[in-house]
Amino acid sequence: MAKKRRPQSKAAKPQLADGEVAVVGAREPCPCGSGRRYKACHGREASHAATELVRRPFEGLAGECDWVAMRELVPAATASLTLRDGLPEGVPSVTLATVLPLAWPGLRRDDGSVMVGIQNDTPSGDISRDLADVLLRGLNADPGSPIATGRPSVDAPRLQDVLDAQVQLVPEVHTGFEFWLGDAEDASGEVAASLERANSAALPTLRLGGVEAAYWCETPEKNHLRWVMPHGEEELLDALSRLHAAGASSLGEDTRLVGSFRAHGLLVPVWDLPSAMTAEECEKPAAAFQERLAEALGSTVPLTAEERKSRSGLMNRQITLS
């Protein structure tokens, strides 16, 4: 026998202010008065907004390229963050870190300082909003406690709202993850094991001093230079193609521009380097390349057949990281 359906009481039409629609349970009537369930009405819009990918989440922040590098390329690094409204009482500092112990999204340390991990998985399509949520919750967390993953609302503040966007991000690259602790020798239990695993997996990495957001790294077979660049992708590809076709895209003998990463709306050209080539030895060639690139970026002449061939090759050697 078919089960009788209980009659549904008709929800009173809510009073909405300024066209706003309140958030309710997914199966409840939508507060807009449409008669549909929330999940099939305004809830669908809210869900879409929460998951829609923001292509350049760090755009508008000074040092956008280094934000991308800390998110995708650098194993162990920290950078001091400056809040737009200053530090609240009891919070001596806020620090961005590549990774935190046990993959915590954030950490309020015993001294009240706050650390935010940038390489964690984030719950929505807007990394900037998710990181800002961790940061703000960290300011109010109890000292000595980790900050769990949350899911901010679609109108929650982003990093661009919380930070002083004019202050340049200056990453400090570390050889390991001892920055997690005041004294690494005191690490024990899960944190000690996490520290050991992280240190064993970290590739030696250094940031060049003469150009912005260029990172040298050492691997068992060869070294690499990975350079996050702020230019538009199409514009940069044209310029790299001009240099590549002219034989001017290398950083010296036995070096080669091998392709690029695409990360958070920016292009990251990658060079293979000899195993003996140190970060210091990259400084002058990188500065010289930056001058050649600036000239190529300024050209408005259509690409030649050879340059178009180079461009096609570079595009075929792109890997998307985000």
Q: Return d(Cα 141, Cα 138) in angstroms, integer.
A: 5
* pLDDT attached to residue 12: 38
- Number of other residues whose CB lies within 10 A of the CB of residue 264: 23
CA distances from 250 to 207, 255, 258 (A): 19, 6, 9
Rounded distance between C-alpha atoms, residue 70 and residue 174, angstroms: 12
DSSP string, 22-57: ----TTSBPTTSSSSBGGGTHHHHHHHHHHS--S-T
pLDDT at 293 over 90: yes
Q: What is the pLDDT of residues 167-181, one digit of tens each?
A: 999 999 999 998 887
pLDDT of 216 strictly over 60: yes
Higher pLDDT, 73 or 194: 73
Q: What is the pLDDT of the chain when averaged over all its residues?
A: 87
pLDDT at 218: 95
Q: Is the pLDDT of residue 81 over 50?
A: yes
Looking at residue 25, what is its pLDDT? 56
**What pLDDT sits at residue 202?**
87
**Which two three-digit tokens encode residue 65?**
């390229």
What phi and psi values does residue 117 have, to the nearest 5 degrees? -90, 130
Spatial separation of the C-alpha atoms in residues 28 and 36, rounded to whole Å: 8
pTM: predicted TM-score of the whole model, two decimal places: 0.82
**Integer Cα distance of 162 and 111 in angstroms:** 22
Q: Mind listing the pLDDT tens digit for each residue in 1-52?
A: 333 333 333 433 334 444 444 555 556 777 777 777 755 665 555 444 456 8
Report d(CA 281, CA 218) in Å as an integer: 13
